[in-house]
Structure formats: C-alpha cells, structure tokens
Amino acid sequence: MARIYATHEHLVAYTAGSDVVVPAEPESQRVRTRASETVDEALLTAIYDTDPVTELPTDPRLAAAMRDAVCAQVVWWEKTGDEHGTAGQYAMVSIGSVALSRGSAGPATGVTLPSGRTLGPHAATHLRLAGLLPGAIAVYY
C-alpha cells in the first residue's frame, strides 16, 4: 500500500493564494502519490515512529513536515514542468545528429536522490527543518 502524506484538501490549502493550479482528482491523487514516493526515497534512512497499520508517522510535527513536503514537491513540479526530474540533467540537448552534454543547466536546486529524481528545494526544507534530512553545520571562528 502506497503511503500518501497529503490529501487533495491539503494541497489546495497549501497552494491558496498562489498561481499554482491544483489538478482535479484523479490527477491530484496521482501526483500526490508520486510526490509521496519521492519523499519516501529522500527519507529512506530516516528513523521515526510509524503507525503499524497505516505506516504513517505518529509524531504530528513529522507528519506535518511530510505533508508539506509532498505539497511543495507537487508545486515545484507544476512550476518547473519537470515531474520526472530530467530537465536539469543536461546543460545542452540536440535532437538532429544527437548531441547531449551532461552538466548543470543552471544553479543547483533541490536534493538529487539515488534514483536521479530531484526533491524540490522547498520540499527538502520542510524535511530538513523537521530533522528528517541531514543538514550541514558550519562553524566559523
């Protein structure tokens, strides 16, 4: 059973006041499921308590972070038009006589996952602030 961390209503509330158009069901269900899978991949080694039946986090703070991360991921896909995470993989692409160039097509955004998919920057922030993603601590003397 796939865990889906946000409902359609959560997504509508998250995008309220923005220019993002929330897809109607069943498309909303599909993108929320994919976004939840992306969050799951990002949290593959995270440790947190879950409900034995639903496998959802039992800590309301973590559940909210995962819900908001899913919504942010859907919004990021909507803004970038890149649900599959492939647009930023090449700095240059041609079709005639095929010419591909690996590298960054722009500034790095989000978190690249082992599958090659990207967790959007705001989704990563929600998870990082909840302590679910590792962060870096810089100490300056």
Instruction: Give the pLDDT of residue 115.
Output: 87
Is the predicted pLDDT of residue 9 greater than 70, yes or no? yes
Domain of residue 18: give its range. 8-129
Q: Is 121 within 8 Å of 109 (Cβ atoms)?
A: yes
Is the predicted pLDDT of residue 15 greater than 60, yes or no? yes
**How many domains, the chain?**
1
| Residue 109 located in a structural domain | yes
| Residue 34 located in a structural domain | yes
Say what percent of the chain tops pLDDT 90.
64
| Residue 89 located in a structural domain | yes
Instruction: Give the pLDDT of residue 19.
Output: 92
Q: What's the rounded Cα separation, in Å, for the pair 103 and 108?
A: 10
Q: Is 70 within 8 Å of 35 (Cβ atoms)?
A: yes
Structure confidence by residue, pLDDT tens digits, 76-100: 999 988 676 555 555 566 677 776 6
| Residue 137 located in a structural domain | no
Cα dihedral across residues 126, 46, 10, 109: positive or negative: positive
Q: What's the rounded Cα separation, in Å, for the pair 56 and 47?
A: 12
